[in-house]
Structure 1
């Protein structure tokens, strides 16, 4: 339990730091200042929302009788934000295309030099040859 609490505190600190940096960047760009309380509130809200997302993703996977969260679970989570859903769908499609291309390349490179000689080919039996006529 103590290790879990320590990990949670480290994650909270990382989120707080990242939110602070983002607020700093936005503040410089928009010529606005964020108070420490505002940054802390945004960080806490972000952390809690991420916890909710994680819980929902686990439940979606469990409902699908799986132990691993997949892209369909993430899409389901993002369903209320059309822009986010479109972005995630586009990224999933890009990843799928890249994975397919890599598989093709691997198949081509591993297939070279591995072909059986012609004298070891299995004979093909057609349906007409296999059927017995009485």
Structure 2
């Protein structure tokens, strides 16, 4: 196996392990809350399905951006991905709107800050340096 392939394989294995850990943690939370148990095989299956679905999502997002002749995936791509699930689409749209509103607020604050920073009045007498005479 080439060095690049080994690195890719290693990274993929680490990602799969991370997904498995998170899925296991979530299953444990549900098990505690609902008083049910998950078998190790069920957790492994959920982890594998989750990982494959994420790979599929990543490919789709890349294709959507490329189709729009962009190199950056944006919220429109994510919304397009979620279009088949009404509840997911609604949640993503809500989050997108909140992010946009927060971004607009931050821009307004920066704009106000830069405008107020430029209007600082100065006493020109204090800024002028006059050398003392040696009389």
TM-score, normalisation: structure 2? 0.83
**Structure 1 stretches (4+) deviating beyond 2 angstroms?**
none
1:2 Cα offset (Å) = 1.1
Could you tell me how far apart the structure 2 residues matched to 1:95 and 1:25 are? 29
1:87 aligned to which of 80, 86, 91: 91
1:114 Cα offset (Å) = 2.2
Count of paired positions: 115
Residue of structure 2 equivalent to 1:103 = 107
1:85 Cα offset (Å) = 0.3
2:13 paired with 1:5: no
1:1-134 aligned within 5 A: 1-114=5-118
Partner SS, residue 49 of structure 2: helix
Partner SS, residue 69 of structure 1: coil
Could you tell me how far apart the structure 2 residues matched to 1:24 and 1:9 are? 22
Could you tell me how far apart the structure 2 residues matched to 1:36 and 1:42 are? 10
Partner SS, residue 118 of structure 2: coil
Deviations 1:7-47 (A, max 9, x none): 10000000000000111110111111101001000000000
Deviations 1:29-84 (A, max 9, x none): 11111010010000000000000000000000000000110000000000000010
